[in-house]
Structure 1
Amino acid sequence: MTKIFRRTLLAALSVAAITASVPAAAQDFKPRIIRFGYGLVEDSNAGRAARFFGQEVEKASGGKMKVRAIGNAALGSDVQMQQALIGGAQEMMSGSTATLVGITKEMALWDTPFLFNNAKEADVVLDGPVGQKVMDKLQEKGLVGLVYWENGFRNLTNSKRPIAKVEDMDGVKLRVMQNNVFLESFKSLGANAVPLPFSELFSALETKTVDGQENPYNTILSSKFYEVQKYLTVTNHVYSPWILLVSKKWWDGLSKVEQKVLLDAAKKSRDFERQDTRAEAGRALAELKQKGMLINELSPAEAGRMREKLMAVHTSIAAGVGQDLWKETQDELAKIRAAK
């Protein structure tokens, strides 16, 4: 090898090394403003996680990709934002999986009453093959799911009376999500189930259009439902995930590097959001009590009666999502429980 050739080769390698060390932000990103919508107020677990996600995206893209987090349903209800994503008019959102059932039937799996016994079971299933399989179905409908966040175990509130037994549900006008599984579940329990967007819920409770609702402690607190609801019953009847969604139309126009930045930031935000949500849940329950809500816990016997009344709903969900997916989920849960 001649000296001239060797020097040329070394120079070329040096240039390659320098180029490789230049941050991806300088090479692979276009300036982008990402509108990220969510339903809760800014000072909520969803709001904090949205801000965290945005910081991670901006940092990893060298400031080229900026997330504009917009809360309080300012961009519309979950359903409206989903349609905006599908049409490419909005880039991202986080929202309830329950509002996606009309788009992707497999999402109804997460609405199964008493599916998970605890958050650890939910994490393993949602982050594993079953959760990914359900999320992947969204791409056929114009959406890309990145990760599942946690909303939490749902509990009942109302302004009429404590719910100490199943019969106490009779005649209670209960707001539920716009989702047939929730409608059928609460009708089975005797409630008068009324589907409403979350953005209309506080007003409906305040005007007594509905008597009650069901949500995790964090949401009950951050949405100030304690101002218009007297009774809170600890039921933990459904574990409720949120999902981070991207417009497929927009996603397909991103570079692989940009997609990776979003996915990596989403995974970090998932871990942050779950930890934050769980830490807040205990504090939220105590604060709701301090704010005057009367709190009671459904007894194990009554919870068992509730489960029995909902078995027909389980059968319906299994048929709707497909027996193979249902069996895979139950097998995974059995494996988790056997490992304890």
Structure 2
Amino acid sequence: MTITRYATPSFPLRIITASIGALALTLATLSTAQAAAEMPPIPEVTGDVVEGDGNDYTIKFSIGTTQSGAQYRGLEYFEDIVEARSDGHIQVELFHSAQLGDDLQAVSALQSGTLEMTAPSTSPLVNMFPQFAVFDLPFLFPTPEVADEVLDGEIGDSMLGIASSNGLVAIGWAENGYRQLTNSQAAVDSPDDLDGLKVRTMQNPIHLDIWRTLGANPTPMSFAELFTALEQGVVDGQENPWITIQSSRFNEVQGYASETNHVYTPFITLVSERFWNKLPESYQQMLVEAAQQMGDYEREVSRSLNDQIKQELIDEGMQITELTPEQVTTFQESLAPVYDNWRDQVGGELIDSIRATSAQ
């Protein structure tokens, strides 16, 4: 039996919601509207209806990113799958833009049982799971294909197992993406160009180490303060994925960007253990399958948007430098001390396993 995407009892409500959303979209910026319109279509739901235990369940699923991004689009697909394959016995409520709290607050709510699901990036979870710091190391994932192989293979499965503790159950991966460098001073294509450049970073010790090692002056600050700081020259540059650079209008105060792809960050899909243990095994397995399908689709959307937005930034006047393989190697060689500093804390065997995957 194959279920179409709309084979769900909540279809009329979804249509009403979609109509309201379409009206609201006319008030959004043109670039955001174009990006949303050009997202890959949500796939049809496939698979049999899953026999449950006769009870009804509600999943509140909270994320920190906005409704216009790839992650929320992935959640819409997850909602379709779960509601259709449970024959309406599981209803999914989506909350974007940190409406129910930031990543750490949402994880805490899962642990206490007041929230059912969230999908944070790995960086905020490093204190809880030190191995996740591997995703903050520079240039460890040279291509999206390597990231996919790591996340969807034995290494990713092992890390899901590590995260399935402390009141959490980890069931899948998606993509936050690669971070890129922007600045207001000059084009950057070598570490020498970073000498003394004031670069805003997250309050993350590995990220601070990266930029100090490259000769820049890393400056941690709240993301909410960043646009004003860039506009006033408090900092010269910042680093974020293309979609964040555009949605935050950093290109209005940053004339230069370098496609460095220096750090790759995934999202991890988490379920409250308290909620998980209430579900019959058939529903647990269905959620795992839905999370994996969501992750595959979300990565497709993320990469499609990434390419579109990069071109839009170029069209709007931003000068984007694409590093050659030789220039990337220069950055990697300059950052070797970062690996020496963090190898023992992150786990040398884990780093070597990922590097071996990259070399295949």
Scaled to the shorter chain, the TM-score interval is 0.7 to 0.9
Residue 30 (structure 1) aligned with residue 55 (structure 2): yes
Q: Aligned residue for 1:106?
A: 131
Kindly state the Cα deviation for residue 209 of structure 1 after the two structures are TM-superposed.
Answer: 5.2
Long gaps (5+) in structure 2: 1-47
Long gaps (5+) in structure 1: 1-21
Larger Rg: 1
Give the alignment's TM-score, normalised by structure 2: 0.78
Kindly state the Cα deviation for residue 68 of structure 1 after the two structures are TM-superposed.
Answer: 1.8
Inter-partner Cα distance in structure 2 for 1:319 and 1:256? 38
Is the 8 Å Cα contact of residues 65 and 96 (structure 2) preserved in structure 1? yes
One-letter code of the match for 1:38? I
1:276 is aligned, of 301, 305, 325, to 301
What SS does the aligned partner of 1:282 have? helix
Is the 8 Å Cα contact of residues 142 and 358 (structure 2) preserved in structure 1? no
Kindly state the Cα deviation for residue 311 of structure 1 after the two structures are TM-superposed.
Answer: 0.8
Is the 8 Å Cα contact of residues 77 and 197 (structure 1) preserved in structure 2? no
Inter-partner Cα distance in structure 1 for 2:72 and 2:235? 26
Is the 8 Å Cα contact of residues 50 and 286 (structure 2) preserved in structure 1? no
1:158 is aligned, of 173, 183, 188, to 183
1:202–1:82 Cα change, 3 Å:
farther
Q: Aligned residue for 2:73?
A: 48
Moved more, 143-152 or 314-323: 314-323
1:76–1:167 Cα change, 3 Å:
farther
Is the 8 Å Cα contact of residues 106 and 115 (structure 2) preserved in structure 1? yes
Moved more, 167-176 or 60-69: 167-176
2:265 is aligned, of 240, 243, 249, to 240
Is the 8 Å Cα contact of residues 49 and 273 (structure 1) preserved in structure 2? yes
Is the 8 Å Cα contact of residues 149 and 243 (structure 1) preserved in structure 2? yes
Is the 8 Å Cα contact of residues 191 and 334 (structure 2) preserved in structure 1? no
Please show how residues 149-298 of structure 1 align to structure 2 within 5 Å: 149-196=174-221, 198=223, 201-202=226-227, 205=230, 210-298=235-323
Q: Aligned residue for 2:44?
A: none
Inter-partner Cα distance in structure 2 for 1:253 and 1:237? 41
1:171–1:79 Cα change, 3 Å:
farther
One-letter code of the match for 2:109? A
Inter-partner Cα distance in structure 2 for 1:225 and 1:254? 44
1:19-76 per-position Cα deviation (integer Å, ceiling 9, x unaligned): xxx9545x42533332222222211111211111111111111122222221122223
Is the 8 Å Cα contact of residues 49 and 84 (structure 2) preserved in structure 1? no
What SS does the aligned partner of 1:62 have? coil
Inter-partner Cα distance in structure 2 for 1:89 and 1:23? 28
More helix by share: 1
Moved more, 283-292 or 167-176: 167-176
1:306–1:104 Cα change, 3 Å:
same
Moved more, 272-281 or 154-163: 154-163
Kindly state the Cα deviation for residue 135 of structure 1 after the two structures are TM-superposed.
Answer: 2.0
Is the 8 Å Cα contact of residues 88 and 249 (structure 1) preserved in structure 2? yes
One-letter code of the match for 1:129? E
1:95–1:159 Cα change, 3 Å:
farther
Give the alignment's TM-score, normalised by structure 1: 0.83
Identity across aligned pairs (percent)? 39
Is the 8 Å Cα contact of residues 39 and 199 (structure 1) preserved in structure 2? no
Residue 148 (structure 1) aligned with residue 173 (structure 2): yes
Moved more, 256-265 or 217-226: 217-226
One-letter code of the match for 1:322? G
